[in-house]
Amino acid sequence: MSTSETGMQFTEGVANGEVRYDLEDFIRASGIPPQEAHEMFTKYGPYKSDLDPLLKARADQHMDLMK
């Protein structure tokens, strides 16, 4: 895929409300171990709308285990 096509897809995604994480930003923002964050990012993609609910579910699950 050419750089112009990639840029165009990114712009369309942002225009449609799809915000993407950069891998390094996701690792920092997630607060989970880097390897686990990398695996999640690779499996579920860069979109914040896909990753944020997974992080919340993971956090909720950990809170349940601590009760």
- Helices and strands: H and E segment counts in the chain: 4, 0
What is the rounded CA–CA span in Å between residue 27 and residue 5? 26
pLDDT of residue 15: 55
Span 5-41, pLDDT tens digits: 444 444 455 556 689 999 999 999 999 999 999 999 9
Regarding pTM above 0.75, the answer is no
**Which DSSP string corresponds to 5-37?**
HHHHHHHHHHHTT-PBPPHHHHHHHH-S-HHHH
Measured distance CA(10)–CA(56) in Å, rounded: 25
